[in-house]
Amino acid sequence: MSVSYKNPEFELIPCPICGGQEFTHLFHKKKEPFVRCIQCHFTLINPRPSFEQIVKTYDSVYSGNYTKKAGKKRKRALRRVKRLKNSYGLFGNWLDVGCSAGFVVEAAQSQGFFGYGIDIEAGGLAYGKKELGLSNLIEGTLGEHQYPNQFFDVISAYDVIEHVPDLNLFLTEIKRILKPHGIVDIGTPDIAHWRVPKKLSTWNEFKPSEHLYYFNKDTLGKLLEKNNLKIVNQRLSLKPGLKVTISHAT
């Protein structure tokens, strides 16, 4: 598919996984084109919003959401932290990417980790600092804040990777700051899940200017392999989600 797109708020990109430049058009939603790479079958928005447009959308959608169902979110965060701690026997430094108000950071600290969090939405961070007493929360993107090499034992990124403009840059940074025997825990919508509607355009996870990419285990595995990472565990999800734990490939 050859695309001509002149809207300065959008940019045409090659496939982040295979570099392909030919796509099959699936549908439009709110004037944004959802396409699938002909070569590796990765689904994405392309042309996709510029970074500035993504930040605007993120601020409008997520601002103020950090306190909704706070009790439920804190319980879920604690379950996640305990699961990883008990399964892998890790201690040390924990980074939550896309931390919002810092519930995972709080849970990690309660289990003996040194907790850190980073997010681009300032309101949630302010809440976490004031109400939860969390000091290690940073506003910005992962690439903007230079954490030390091989610093983190655990990195979590729940409902984050589908928002990230540059997937390979994101994973390069994850790999740089992850300790040799560290793990990464990721959750993202799963386009291949049995509960995804047959009519794809009706799936509520297709969110223009918000969710840029739609993974299944195969496409996520290919992206990770490209960045010398690998899936070490996949958990069952009754909702259309892909829940995986990742480590260095070598």
**Domain at 208, CATH number:** 3.40.50.150
pLDDT of residue 106: 98
- Distance, in Å, from the CA atom of 97 to the CA atom of 84, rounded to the nearest integer, reads 16
Segment 177-214, tens digit of pLDDT: 999 999 999 999 999 999 999 999 999 999 988 899 99
- Distance, in Å, from the CA atom of 18 to the CA atom of 36, rounded to the nearest integer, reads 12
pLDDT of residue 1: 40
Q: What is the DSSP letter of 206?
A: -
What range does the domain containing 138 cover? 51-248
- Distance, in Å, from the CA atom of 106 to the CA atom of 132, rounded to the nearest integer, reads 7
Give the C-alpha distances (Å, rounded to integers) separating 171 from 11, 33, 55.
21, 25, 20
> Is 7 within a domain?
no
Task: For the chain, state the CA radius of gyration.
Answer: 18
- The secondary structure of 61-124 as a DSSP string is HHTTGGGTTHHHHHHHHHHHHHHHHHHH---SEEEEET-TTTHHHHHHHHTT-EEEEEES-HHH
Q: Cα–Cα–Cα angle for 113, 115, 119, nearest 5°?
A: 155
pLDDT of residue 143: 87
Residue keyed to tokens 């300065």: 8
pLDDT of residue 5: 44
> Is 22 within a domain?
no
> Is 3 within a domain?
no
Q: Which residue ranges in the chain fall short of pLDDT 70?
A: 1-8, 60, 62-64, 66
Helix, strand, coil in percent for the chain, rounding step 5: 30, 30, 40
> Is 44 within a domain?
no
pLDDT of residue 160: 96
pTM surpassing 0.85?
yes
Domain count of the chain?
A: 1
pLDDT of residue 7: 58
> Is 132 within a domain?
yes
Amino acid identity, residue 126?
Answer: A
CA contacts within 13 A on the Cβ side of 11: 12
Segment 146-180, tens digit of pLDDT: 899 999 999 999 999 999 999 999 999 999 999 99
> Is 68 within a domain?
yes
> Is 1 within a domain?
no
> Is 25 within a domain?
no
pLDDT of residue 202: 95
